[in-house]
């Protein structure tokens, strides 16, 4: 018949909340395992920090500039502008071989100047040659030649009469017509150089 266990043979009764100790053969005991505090229980919210007041996180790339302006890269580069000289409009005479103002080509201008300035030295012969050579081809040359021809015919007659009277007037009637012819021929030539048709004053229009 076995004896009942004696008090103190298996140690002092332990606290129910304390993990049990394990006895090794021979009476040795392992100490109870220490609680692990390395892992904290998750807080409410699934472990993520509570959202801040206002809207949630936004992508920086989604930021819109104030007033809806585009990024600087959206503006057109200066190179996109058309360079000077590439426009469709060009000034008259701004490039080689351009026709003078009021003329279809440089040849017309040359004959118009011959008709006016040539009359100073050759009288009505210069505008007559211009009319015969270029008058049928160019209405512009014809108009200049007709004006100069009518003027020099008119004042050629006056000059002839003045030469006859110069004996009595000591050459005054010869000098005055020459001055008038030179002055108005120069004015007409300058106008023709600018592309304008000059109508001579004090001239009878023999040729229309």
Q: Residue 142 has what pLDDT? A: 96
Q: Residue 34 has what pLDDT? A: 58
How far apart (Å, rounded) are the C-alpha atoms in residues 128 and 181?
A: 16
How far apart (Å, rounded) are the C-alpha atoms in residues 58 and 65?
A: 14
Q: Which residue has the higher pLDDT, 145 or 53?
A: 145
Which residue ranges make up each domain of the chain?
A: 116-193
Number of H helices, E strands in the chain: 4, 2
| Contact by Cβ (8 Å): 205, 150 | yes
How confident is the model over 123-139, as a mean pLDDT? 95
Q: Which residue has the higher pLDDT, 203 or 76?
A: 203
| Contact by Cβ (8 Å): 119, 181 | yes
Q: Average pLDDT of the chain?
A: 72
Q: Which residue has the higher pLDDT, 31 or 92?
A: 31
How confident is the model over 152-163, as a mean pLDDT? 94
How confident is the model over 113-126, as a mean pLDDT? 96
Residue 151 host element (H or E): helix 139-169
Q: What are phi and psi of 119, to 5 degrees?
A: -65, -20
| Alpha-carbon distances of 80 from 19, 83, 178, 205, rounded to whole Å | 83, 9, 63, 60
Q: The pTM is what?
A: 0.52
Q: Residue 16 has what pLDDT? A: 56
Q: Residue 97 has what pLDDT? A: 42
How confident is the model over 139-146, as a mean pLDDT? 96
Q: Residue 75 has what pLDDT? A: 46
Q: From start to end of the chain, where are the E strands?
A: 22-23, 29-30
The model's pLDDT over 75-118, given as tens digits with 9 standing for 90+, comes to: 454 444 444 444 444 444 433 444 455 788 999 999 999 999 99
The model's pLDDT over 43-86, given as tens digits with 9 standing for 90+, comes to: 444 455 555 544 444 554 544 544 444 444 444 544 444 444 44
Band of residue 171 on the pLDDT scale cut at 50, 70, 90? confident
């Amino acid at each position: 018949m076995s004896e009942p266990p004696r008090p103190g043979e298996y140690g002092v009764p332990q606290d129910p909340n304390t993990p049990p100790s394990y006895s090794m053969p021979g009476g040795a005991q392992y100490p109870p395992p220490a609680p692990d505090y390395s892992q904290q229980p998750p807080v409410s919210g699934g472990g993520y920090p509570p959202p801040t007041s206002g809207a949630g996180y936004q992508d920086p790339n989604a930021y819109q500039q104030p007033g809806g302006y585009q990024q600087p890269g959206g503006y057109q580069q200066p190179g996109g502008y058309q360079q000077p000289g590439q426009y469709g409009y060009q000034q008259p005479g701004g490039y080689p071989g351009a026709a003078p103002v009021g003329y279809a080509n440089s040849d017309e201008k040359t004959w118009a100047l011959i008709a006016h300035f040539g009359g100073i030295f050759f009288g009505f012969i210069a505008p007559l040659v211009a009319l015969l050579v270029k008058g049928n081809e160019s209405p512009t040359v014809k108009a200049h030649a007709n004006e100069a021809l009518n003027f020099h015919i008119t004042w050629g007659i006056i000059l002839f009469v003045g030469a006859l009277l110069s004996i009595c007037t000591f050459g005054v009637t010869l000098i005055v017509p020459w001055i008038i012819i030179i002055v108005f021929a120069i004015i007409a030539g300058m106008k023709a150089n600018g592309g304008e048709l000059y109508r001579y004053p004090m001239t009878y229009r023999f040729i229309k």
